Structure 1
Amino acid sequence: MRHDQNSDATQASGETVDRIMLSRLWSALGGKPEQAENVLVSGEGSLQSVYAVSDFAAAVIATSGLALAEWIAARSGTGPDVRIDRRLASLWFGFSIAPRDWELPSVWDAVAGDYATADGWIRLHTNARHHREAALAVLETGPDRDAVAAAVGLWRADDLEAAVVSAGGCAAAMRSEREWARHPQGRAVLAEPLMRVDQGGGAPRFATEFEILRPLTGIRVLDLTRVLAGPVATRFLSGFGADVLRIDPPGWDEGAVIPEVTPGKRCAWLDLKDGDDRERLKMLLAQADVLVHGYRSDALESLGFGADVRAGLNPGLIDVSLDAYGWTGPWATRRGFDSLVQMSSGIAEAGMAQAAADRPIPLPVQALDHGAGYLLAAAALRGLTMRHTHAIGSRWRTSLARVGGLLTEHRQRPVAVQIGKPAQADYADEMEPTDWGNARRLRPPVTVGDTAMAWDRPAGKLGTSPAAW
């Protein structure tokens, strides 16, 4: 990884934080260390945070770019350079879309958030109706924030966390990094590899046709992901030409996240509790090149689509997945989201301590989601290259908590230039005619040779396409 002279990440030793992170990420994917020298980072500034979020953003997007460059080299014989704009990489960890004459819906449910308990803090994640109902049932109160706060204040944090989770809801008590390192789940997930890779079955190599400016043209990606890491991964893949088909249950919605993550994708409904729809999914799986999924680690198994079934349907499949808290340990099947993992793993407590604040201080962006998303995209691309060069499928697994473990190893240095909200110059000139109205999208944070992210269709609503390739 190289830096231009204007980058505030440059240090006399040459071992910049983003370079260290890139080396760790690329090695976790099995990449060759010397390939990282083909990355050039330009721009300056950092998001204000207790951790090196901007270095992480540049490094993990660079990892995706490196994996794409490797794929291009395998298909064309030419290995392009990867260029990262540090400012844009940081901004893409927030919202990339800016509506014109319409507004994004709220990101959070009215009940969701941090609450003081009798002995600390807890976060309730209530964006999904069934998660909200579970939390309110435990608290024996209605969806009034003041009433919820009063009810939460009567509980110990660990006890309320356990009760909400047992009821089918989502909650996380605030712990410190030290407490997380001693916690049975913290010990388990931090002992896992950053990315677990397993070899799949035999598969045919890809045909010789290849469009170097749209290098993923013809690649079929089946997207079984929701908020937020998985959709970020498949948005990256669709940005370079992949045919991404996203599947959701009928009626599912994610508010502001949908316009953010659906450019380039076709979106369909399937009810996987319905026999006919399960058969349809089997056909889609059999014909896919890549599967990206973000369910709890036991969820697909319970629906009859466990790892052995997926491999039997498609031995050459590149099967890429993540969960919240890891693949081992007592919480291996626990529901979770970025904001909850930040509470569990000490991130929000570290922000609170640094700011001498009286409440949890999370990261300025959902860095675990975005970072994991780009890492998943890189895994999919490395899997494609392995299939093309070695005629095998592969299975890749990581988690929000394990990605968070990498980030928490790197505290932020003093920030000389702070990255704030996007400026007009950060957006592309062209309007994107989304299903909600016109919008502008941030300029791409990465270019690989002469190609950059561009989408063949604007962001659109869920369930608007048939469930077919």
Structure 2
Amino acid sequence: MSSLSYFLSEIRKAARLPERPAPLFAEPGALPSVYAVSDLAAASIAVAGEALADLIAARHGTPAEVAVDRRLASFWFKSSLRPDGWELPPVWDPVAGDYHTGDGWIRLHTNAPHHRRAALSVLGIRDDDTADRTKVAAAVAEWDGAPLEDAVVAAGGCAGEMRSAEAWAAHPQGQAVAAEPLLRHESFAGPDSASWDIVPSQPLAGIRVLDLTRVLAGPTATRFLAGYGADVLRIDPPSDLWSEALEEEMLLGKRSAVLDLRTNDGMERLKELIAGADVMVHGYRSDALAGFGLDAARRRALNPGLVDVALCAYGWSGPWAKRRGFDSIVQMSSGIAETGMRHYKKDRPTPLPVQALDYATGFILAAAALSGLAERVRSGAGSSFRTSLARTAALLEGRFEDPGAPAFAPETAADLAPQVENTHWGPAHRLASPVELSTTPVFWDFPAGPVGTFDPVWRSR
């Protein structure tokens, strides 16, 4: 079975969707990677589109036709926004990245202020303007990888030692992830069958999506839902808890509000939002919402019909189930970066050319949310789905790109959507949508804007 067919089949099964002919345009080429990243991009986006078509069919009986441009799908896995006359800000904190340890390599993720403080404190470096990569490299070199990884994680930070795929397969967490399904699904008795109109031209109009996620997987899912009419309300913490990145990329079509969950008022408002939501997408560690008194049972009590979609970094079982992580860190842990290094005969970790774990997981989450909405239409049941970046890495493991595949043709103006997006930061164009439904154009109500510009309330239906 080809990698493309394998990914389509596995993601469809996980999202509880039927097999159907591959909805793909023939596009020669691939992203430059040892792994079949372009096939993963095309398949994950395709299944999200198929899930939307299935939701339309739940109300109208006949599913829309779905087509995916494999080349554009691959480009969306890198970025979608093309500024006109201005530049995007840096994505990475200056000290984030890969460092040589005494026995290998480790990656430090320091984009969040508290993650940066944790890593630098372990290394004995002041968190001020004098902290730079030279100082960090010298301090990291005094450590072996595993003890430093453990120390940074114990301090509340985020780090990943580079392991081989074989070492990860033998690791207790690698074994735990391998035993988990791509999407774990449960159904719950709901209040009644949903009465949403589901107009094919804007099928998610009036559907409320509560977004409690950070870069990049969860926001990718909710951005997709927003493109078909969903009212996506994103909740962010106060700025002293997090420094946002990629607002220009990920806040398209969403309303963003700030809530301080450390306060009673903030928690009460969040409960009200959960009670009024149709879908909730959240990316907290497995124990975090429970720590706020909002475990799965409590969320279900607040809203029996809720489609509850969750993701984490390292899976929902095993010794690392509560560990912080991001795409680049999971690539180090799971063997992807080490496999790339050996394949390309490099002298340093060689990750995927894009953050494919994030983006693929995001479209898988979108498919899960849409599958849950279709279930609500058909039976009235609420549902929950959960997955992880590490489980998407397991899906990709062993599926390699054809070494003779040519590079894609370079991007041109013809690859851009025609309309100008007047973002908060200046005018821009987006790439054209990589997925097309015969009945349903994609359209985002809001251009990208900064965090915290809306009130934390639902719009009237």
Calculate the TM-score normalised by the size of structure 2.
0.96
2:361 is matched with which residue? 372
Determine the structure 2 residue equivalent to 1:223: 211
Q: Does 1:137 align with 2:126?
A: no
CA–CA distance in 2 between the matches of 1:352 and 1:420? 25
Equivalent residue in structure 1 for 2:16, among 30, 36, 43? 30
- Opposite residue 228 of structure 2, the aligned amino acid is F
Q: Which residue of 2 aligns with 1:171?
A: 159
Runs of 4+ deviating beyond 3 Å:
252-256
1:102 aligns with 2:90: no
Q: How far did residue 420 of structure 1 move?
A: 6.5
- Partners of 2:28 and 2:80 lie apart in 1 by 19
Asked if 1:441 is matched to 2:427, the reply is no
Q: Map 1:199-218 to 2 at 5 A.
A: 199-207=187-195, 209-218=197-206
Alpha-carbon separation, structure 2, partners of 1:458 and 1:376: 22
Name the residue aligned to 1:336: 325
Q: Residue type matched to 1:387 in 2?
A: R
Indicate the SS of the match to 2:194: coil
Select 1:153's aligned residue among 141, 148, 167: 141
Aligned equivalents of 1:139, 1:151: Cα separation in 2: 6
- Work out the CA distance in 1 between the residues paired with 2:419 and 2:147: 51
Tell me the residue number matched to 1:18: 4
Take 1:46 and 1:38, find their aligned partners in 2: how far apart are those partners? 18
Which amino acid in 2 is paired with 1:181?
A
Shift in Å at residue 421 of structure 1?
5.5
8 Å Cα contact 1:269/1:462 also seen in 2 = yes
Q: Give the aligned residue type for 1:329.
A: G
CA contact 1:446–1:452 (8 Å) conserved in 2: no
Distance 1:297 1:450 in 2: 38
| Deviations, residues 380-418 of structure 1 (Å, cap 9, x unaligned) | 000000010011000000000001100112011124321
**Over residues 346-388 of structure 1, what are the superposed CA-to-partner deviations in whole Å (9 max), with x where a residue is unaligned?**
0000000001110000000000000000000000000000010
Amino acid at match of 2:187: Q
**Corresponding residue for residue 77 of structure 1:** 61
Is this contact kept in 2: 1:41–1:85, CA < 8 A? Answer: yes
Cα 1:421/1:130, change in 2 over 3 Å = farther
**CA–CA separation in structure 2 for the residues paired with 1:272 and 1:448:** 39
Alpha-carbon deviations, 1:184-210, whole Å to 9, x = none?
100111111111001123132222533
TM, length-normalised to structure 1 = 0.95
Which 5+ residue runs of structure 1 have no aligned equivalent?
1-14
CA–CA distance in 2 between the matches of 1:370 and 1:208?
A: 28
Q: Is the 8 A contact 2:36 2:396 kept in 1?
A: yes
Q: Distance in 1 between matches of 2:339 and 2:443?
A: 37
| Separation in structure 2 between the aligned mates of residue 50 and residue 237 of structure 1, nearest angstrom | 31
- For 1:402, the equivalent position in structure 2 comes to 391
Q: Residue 355 in 1 paired to residue 341 in 2?
A: no
What residue identity is the alignment partner of 1:196?
R
2:195–2:377: 8 Å Cα contact kept in structure 1? Answer: no
Where structure 2 has 5 or more consecutive residues not aligned to the other structure, the ranges are none
Partner of 1:117: 101
Q: Which amino acid aligns with 2:453?
A: T
8 Å contact kept, 2:337–2:350: yes
Distance 1:420 1:104, change over 3 A: farther
For the Cα contact (< 8 Å) 1:41–1:58, is it kept in 2? no
The residue type paired with residue 390 of structure 1 is S
Query: In the alignment, does 2:29 pair up with 1:42?
Result: no
Q: Percent identity?
A: 56
Distance 2:295 2:259 in 1: 18
Q: Distance in 2 between matches of 1:108 and 1:38?
A: 37
Alignment-derived partner of residue 227 in structure 2 = 239
* Letter of the 2:7 counterpart: M
Structure 1 residues 208 and 281: alpha-carbon distance in aligned structure 2, compared to 1, 3 A threshold = closer
What is the CA–CA distance in structure 1 between the aligned matches of 2:339 and 2:29, rounded to whole Å? 22
Q: State whether residues 192 and 379 of structure 2, in contact with CA within 8 Å, keep that contact through their aligned partners in structure 1.
A: no
How many residues in Structure 1 have an aligned counterpart in Structure 2? 453
Equivalent residue, structure 2, for 1:274: 263
Name the CA distance, whole Å, in 1 between partners of 2:35 and 2:308.
Answer: 31
Alignment-derived partner of residue 5 in structure 1:
none
**Letter of the 2:238 counterpart:** P
- SS of the aligned residue for 1:234 comes to helix
Secondary structure, in 3 states, of the residue corresponding to 2:189? strand
Contact 1:232 / 1:374 at 8 angstroms: preserved in 2?
yes
3-state SS, counterpart of residue 107 of structure 2 = strand
* Alignment partners' CA distance in 2, 1:377 and 1:403: 14
- Using a 3 Å threshold, how does the CA distance of structure 1 residues 149 and 394 change in structure 2: closer, same or farther? same
RMSD across aligned C-alpha pairs, in angstroms? 1.3
Query: Cα distance 1:126–1:155, how it changes in 2: closer, same or farther (>3 A)?
Result: same
Deviation at 1:254, TM superposition (A): 5.2
Q: Which residue of 2 aligns with 1:263?
A: 252
Indicate the residue corresponding to 1:3 in structure 2: none
Matches of 1:209 and 1:315, distance apart in 2: 20
Partner Cα distance (1:155, 1:441) in 2: 44
1:48–1:419 CA contact under 8 A, matched in 2 = no
Larger mean Cα displacement after TM superposition, 38-47 or 95-104: 38-47
CA-CA distance at 1:42 after TM superposition: 3.2
